[in-house]
Structure 1
Amino acid sequence: MSGHTVGMDHVPLAQALAARLRSQGTPEHIARLFAQVPRHRFLPDTVWGEDRTRYDRAADPAEWMRVAYTDQALTTQRDDGAPGGMGVPTSSSSAPSVMARMLAAAGIESAHRVLEIGTGTGYNAALLSQLLGSGSVATVEIDPELAGAARAALSAAGFHPDVRTGDGERTGGLPSYDRLIATCTVSEVPAAWLRHMRGRGRIVTPWAPTPGLPGGVLAVLDATRNHAQGRFEGGLSFMWARGQRRPGRSAPGPEAVADSTEQVPGDPREPWLDGERALLLSLLMPGWSYGLRMGEDATDPCVWLASTTCSSWARLHADGRVEQGGTRALFEEADRAWRIWEGWNRPAVSDFGLTVDPDRQTQTVWVHGPRHSLWSVRG
């Protein structure tokens, strides 16, 4: 992690970032944290922006410092730190507006203890420590190298929360807490997250219905030791928890032979090329994953759908062709789900929610309140 950049004053940049968050509606007590805690102190010397632009502190310290105080997620590790990889982002410093959104959703009060899952750079733990005092903050990081770097950066900045190296899906050995904030996406809310709740608490976590989906929601769950329930507060895409980032099902290969092929009007890929519509479909329709794949000699990618409960699949092409294999007609399932959604007067993502019952080992997605369950999975 970097220290001070010689000859550069970060304070105006941090103040401008905090002002931007205020203008977006961030509560004052949270916005001011971003002026008080220097983000650049928690960044490595090389980061990548959201457009994959590389910023190197040694090559251009002014630009590196400037980007540190922009409202964007900065990739801080690729390929789990292994050299010679494909450059897949595996850790980041989240966009400040997203961090502020999660801190506000947590409803943190002065007497609360907070557990963070996914320390990353340590910046969010520093914000929490500034808000509550280091003694009320614990944070868990699965990557030993990241945990060590975060611990050092926090100490150098004057913060001393309890930084643990371990699997954040298991919270054994940690003290009880009132709030849990996860900085990674899960599809199964770990039962361990509930078991250490001190009375009635709250879990704030990115969540997606199927492992490996490209998007998700922010789940804000009021929780006790044996129950968690709450609504989704809009879409949110985070890196997956390492224990859950396996894809729900891989794409059907080009050798997969369709059981049926039909020609439909228009572009059947359309819902899946719209992030919001694809997210709604993932909430309405259980047990499937999707993605894009470029076929041989194709000029446009096809959208593939794959069941996570059986071997069924579909390929949707720009020219209107729909190929399907297996017993589930995924394309028709999605069409029915979309018509039902329209019949319900098009509920927004925030009208959906989740109930977690660790005793029954179930997670239930509902709309317009817990009595209107859509589907449940065991997990």
Structure 2
Amino acid sequence: MTHANGATEQAVAGGLLRRLNETLPLTPEWTAAYEGVPRHRFLPDTVWLGDGLAPCDRRQHPGAWLRAAYDDEAVVTQINDGADPGDGERWPSCSASAPSIVFRMLHMLNVRDGDRVLEIGTGTGWNAGLLAHRLGSDLVTTIEVDPALAERAAENLKGAGLAPRVVTGDGAVLDMGHEWDRLLATCSVRKVPPGWAARMKPGGVMLLPWETPWLCYGLLRLVADADGSAVGTFHPHSAFMLMRGQRTDLRIFRDVVGDDHVPDERSTPLPPWSVTGDDWAAQFAIGLQIPDVWWTWHEGPDVEGVSARLWLATTDATSWAAVDYDGQTDDRFTVWEHGRRRLWSEVEAAHRWWRGHACPGPGQFGMTVAPDGRHTPWLGAPNWPVPRSK
């Protein structure tokens, strides 16, 4: 590294630190970790930027690459699980989270000197490096399901003079043998994997990005009890890639809708964009109530009189619904439903319940995870469960 390069890196890193302190002042311990574990040293030479996932190579575009390293934005560090997509679709499979959410989560985790911490989802290794700098490498274990990512992260950590334990495997099923004071996931979950709460010390904290098939949004902060249960509340403003073992790969016309399906027809006054648009609170509440339903828009379908169609389906692909917008009428929409369940009816009921409870936001909801793995979402307090579709 030349002196000029080093000075440039210090300058852009210092600029990000100032921006972080404007929104979430870092404690002296985390400031020292930020300065001692430079983010750019944990990024691969090629990252992918923007909605189109355009490749940015450090050797060809060093300035753009360094700016990406110290923007307060997520940086995609792997696509297509490491496979070459060729001319096919690119999709993100690993990223370095935006620094502001990284430090907000570390703040929420509230680690103390001597805490033993388990991280699920090593990724680049930067998060594990920050924790190891703060606590000491011997107190941090990080698990990565992708062998190539795990190997690269271990090299990154070694290069930074840190040596937390890096384990290759599925964090959803591995029993790491210890009892943990803190557990941090850097991938979203739709269910808390069995056994996580049971491996926590009483009073231990788990911080997990949350997702339903309806919406990827929010953080769930749980506190473990001695009986293997955990209870806690949701917090807004985050979106992470889903844990690989909980992914679903479904397409409406490939997997769900059959040529022989004859759906029932009716109409609805509920605009489909009311439950799929920018109202994250509505989407979050609906996702908690119908946790196995997903949706996708089909703009300009080849159907006479239909400008756009909203599709809904269950994750087991046995029931589906479609809501048609003709491009003009905004108070009545045609609904098609097929299968054992009437999915748009379930959405209408979920939306009606949410409005009837004064349109609560994600931060007003919580979750209880029982020792047997049952998940019970609630509004306001654990004794006020959220209704869920059967």
Matched with 1:340 is 353
Count of aligned positions? 373
Task: State the one-letter code of the partner of 2:360.
Answer: P
- Asked whether the equivalents of residues 181 and 204 of structure 1 are also in contact (C-alpha less than 8 Å), the reply is yes
Which runs of structure 2 are paired with 1:234-249 in the superposition (5 Å)?
234-247=236-249
Matched with 1:45 is 45
Distance 1:59 1:330 in 2: 50
Secondary structure in 2 aligned to 1:243?
helix
Q: For the structure 1 residues 267 and 58, does the alpha-carbon distance in structure 2 shift closer, same or farther, using more than 3 Å as the test?
A: same
Asked if residue 370 in structure 1 is aligned to residue 375 in structure 2, the reply is no
Task: State the one-letter code of the partner of 1:164.
Answer: V
- Percentage of matched positions with identical amino acids: 36
Distance 1:301 1:78 in 2: 30
How far residue 327 of structure 1 moved from its aligned partner, in angstroms, is: 3.6
Task: Give CA-to-partner distance per residue, 1:204-236, whole Å, 9 cap, x none.
Answer: 0112234xx451321000013501110001142
Deviates more, 1:283-292 or 1:193-202: 283-292
Secondary structure in 2 aligned to 1:63?
helix
Asked if residue 274 in structure 1 is aligned to residue 278 in structure 2, the reply is yes
How far residue 249 of structure 1 moved from its aligned partner, in angstroms, is: 8.4
Distance 1:35 1:50 in 2: 27
Distance 2:60 2:129 in 1: 27
Task: Give CA-to-partner distance per residue, 1:160-200, whole Å, 9 cap, x none.
Answer: 10111111112323432200000111112112212321332
Task: State the one-letter code of the partner of 1:198.
Answer: K
Distance 1:339 1:375 in 2: 12
Alignment gaps of 5+ in structure 1? none
Deviates more, 1:172-181 or 1:41-50: 172-181
Secondary structure in 1 aligned to 2:386?
strand
* Pairing partner for 1:94 from 97, 100, 104: 97
Matched with 1:146 is 149
- Asked whether the equivalents of residues 286 and 347 of structure 2 are also in contact (C-alpha less than 8 Å), the reply is yes
Asked if residue 316 in structure 1 is aligned to residue 323 in structure 2, the reply is yes
Matched with 1:350 is 363
Asked if residue 289 in structure 1 is aligned to residue 294 in structure 2, the reply is yes
Distance 2:249 2:377 in 1: 20
Task: State the one-letter code of the partner of 2:311.
Answer: W
Matched with 2:5 is 7
Which runs of structure 2 are paired with 1:69-148 in the superposition (5 Å)?
69-84=70-85, 86-148=89-151
Asked if residue 207 in structure 1 is aligned to residue 210 in structure 2, the reply is yes
Secondary structure in 1 aligned to 2:382?
coil
- Asked whether the equivalents of residues 201 and 224 of structure 2 are also in contact (C-alpha less than 8 Å), the reply is no
Matched with 1:24 is 23
Give the TM-score normalised by structure 1.
0.90
Task: Give CA-to-partner distance per residue, 1:257-306, whole Å, 9 cap, x none.
Answer: 45322344574333212350322211233432222234643685422111
Matched with 2:311 is 304
Secondary structure in 2 aligned to 1:231?
strand
Deviates more, 1:27-36 or 1:128-137: 27-36
Give the TM-score normalised by structure 2.
0.87
Distance 2:239 2:93 in 1: 13
Distance 2:66 2:82 in 1: 23
Task: Give CA-to-partner distance per residue, 1:82-137, whole Å, 9 cap, x none.
Answer: 12353111111111111112111111111211110000000101111121111111
Q: For the structure 1 residues 185 and 338, does the alpha-carbon distance in structure 2 shift closer, same or farther, using more than 3 Å as the test?
A: same
Once superposed, what is the RMSD of the aligned Cα atoms? 2.6
- Asked whether the equivalents of residues 379 and 385 of structure 2 are also in contact (C-alpha less than 8 Å), the reply is yes
Distance 2:160 2:237 in 1: 32
Secondary structure in 2 aligned to 1:366?
strand
Distance 1:241 1:191 in 2: 14
Task: Give CA-to-partner distance per residue, 1:23-45, whole Å, 9 cap, x none.
Answer: 11244343553333211100011
Task: State the one-letter code of the partner of 1:21.
Answer: L
Deviates more, 1:24-33 or 1:93-102: 24-33
Secondary structure in 1 aligned to 2:313?
strand
Q: For the structure 1 residues 15 and 293, does the alpha-carbon distance in structure 2 shift closer, same or farther, using more than 3 Å as the test?
A: same
- Asked whether the equivalents of residues 292 and 301 of structure 1 are also in contact (C-alpha less than 8 Å), the reply is yes
Distance 1:256 1:202 in 2: 50
- Asked whether the equivalents of residues 17 and 35 of structure 1 are also in contact (C-alpha less than 8 Å), the reply is no
Q: For the structure 1 residues 160 and 125, does the alpha-carbon distance in structure 2 shift closer, same or farther, using more than 3 Å as the test?
A: same
Secondary structure in 2 aligned to 1:15?
helix
